Structure 1
């Protein structure tokens, strides 16, 4: 059985600027002010809020709104609580079980979260039902499952002596395409804008791609390994990542494909 990883907010935030850019690009396509003329009384929910730093930017975007961040990781929510305030709160919760009263939420954001959930398209009707008429749903997920960073991880996790522990954790999740999001959300009566972008992140530091994936995709595999194998696996994985993503004078280039969908519910 696949286990949920224990998340490390410090490791996740090592490349916070690069991880945050898709969030800002996503929110740029949510034009709530165009239809409301202000943000007083709005309810904005961030599903899969992580350590809360990006969630806090939603208060800046809609200063009059109440913003709620939800994440299944107690470690992430503990870190996020340091940012909580009068209009910003955080709570532990599973995105798959989250619900709200029908037509009670103005904006739902879920950033770099739904790719962990194979049945994510089945969740979308519930999200749309929770939105007020004219409300917005904004989704961003990584679409880099075939990248060397992930292919090497899966291959190594299926070799001995690691396979006994790690093979089940090293799965390739099938993620929806932009067209899949368009089909699913238009079926719920939404107007949809969906697209994909490949970012060329320039990372600084030694073995930068290893440090990046240790904060996200590699965590389930690394945590499945006993202590005596984890360091050995990390060393082998890091060496192969260095070959696939060589460090150069200007840094390490990490191409990263991401998929976006923004939907506005009909009135």
Structure 2
């Protein structure tokens, strides 16, 4: 991703749909196997791209004695995580957060679990990092992640089409931001891991005025909003046009606006 495309994050906007955004992470956690034999201090867990820490905290519910560190490169997100979630956990573990760039992060100690939730699509060439991460796992440890698989959905196609009209084509991710499920399976099994890869399409019933626009303002639209931050008139014109296109693509129903969202999941266990 070019420097111009690095978005400024808004934790409050991101958390407006926290329940829907957290569901894929809970589904991912449900498929993670038991972690390796735990040292007296409990398992060691890394969450890559932890954001405001709300789903990182769910790791402490599953592994209450774990030392969990959430890593992110957004100061805004980390500030929220520090205030809301950092400290000892009820089960005797601990939760902390640190600044790191997932593009270069390498484990400096053995981990029992390295997990990432809806982050790797922002990391060009992220599959090339898998080898270092698997090497950083204890024998029997797990690498688990989920990424959006909806780059061909109307929400993203319309965004890219409109961005090209505004001269912003280079700031957005395209369909090659993630691999296919089959490609992830091949990469992970090629690292001598036992891999479980699957896809799920969620139909999120969103409520409120222009809910799909409100959703993407917290994630996929961030690079555009960042690029137009210094030209508020162009920013409002873009949002006006995009809002109209989304209303046509995602008409509301009697119980909200159905928003289909496909995601790709992978759980890879290192040989014990």
Same fold flag (TM > 0.5): yes
* Structure 1 length-normalised TM: 0.94
Please state if 1:146 is matched with 2:152. yes
Deviation at 1:173, TM superposition (A): 4.1
CA contact (8 A) 1:141 1:259 kept: yes
Change (3 A) 1:130 1:151: same
Determine whether 1:181 maps to 2:184. yes
Partners of 2:38 and 2:234 in 1: CA distance? 57
The CA distance in 1 between the partners of 2:118 and 2:205, in whole Å, is 19
Q: What runs of 5+ residues in structure 2 fail to find an aligned partner? A: 89-93
Q: Which of the numbers 8, 11, 18 marks the counterpart of 2:10?
A: 8
Aligned positions of 1:1-267 closer than 5 A = 1=2, 2-32=4-34, 36=37, 40-82=41-83, 83-86=85-88, 87-101=94-108, 104-159=110-165, 162-163=166-167, 166-174=168-176, 175-225=178-228, 226-267=231-272
Say which SS state the counterpart of residue 249 (structure 1) adopts. coil
- The CA deviation at 1:181 is 1.4
Cα contact 1:39–1:62 (8 A) shared by 2: no
* TM-score, length-scaled by structure 2: 0.92
- Cα distance in 2 for partners of 1:70, 1:32 equals 23
The Cα RMSD (Å) is 1.5
- Tell me, in whole angstroms, the C-alpha distance in 2 between the residues paired with 1:173 and 1:244: 19
- Listed one character per residue, the Cα deviations across residues 196-232 of structure 1 (whole Å, up to 9, x for unaligned) are 1111010111100000000000110122122121011
Q: 1:38 deviation in Å?
A: 9.5
Instruction: Using the TM superposition, name which of 176-185 and 188-197 deviates more.
Output: 176-185
Regions of 4+ moved over 6 Å: none
The answer to whether the 8 A contact 2:5-2:170 is kept is: no
Q: Partners in 2 of 1:3 and 1:150 — Cα distance?
A: 15
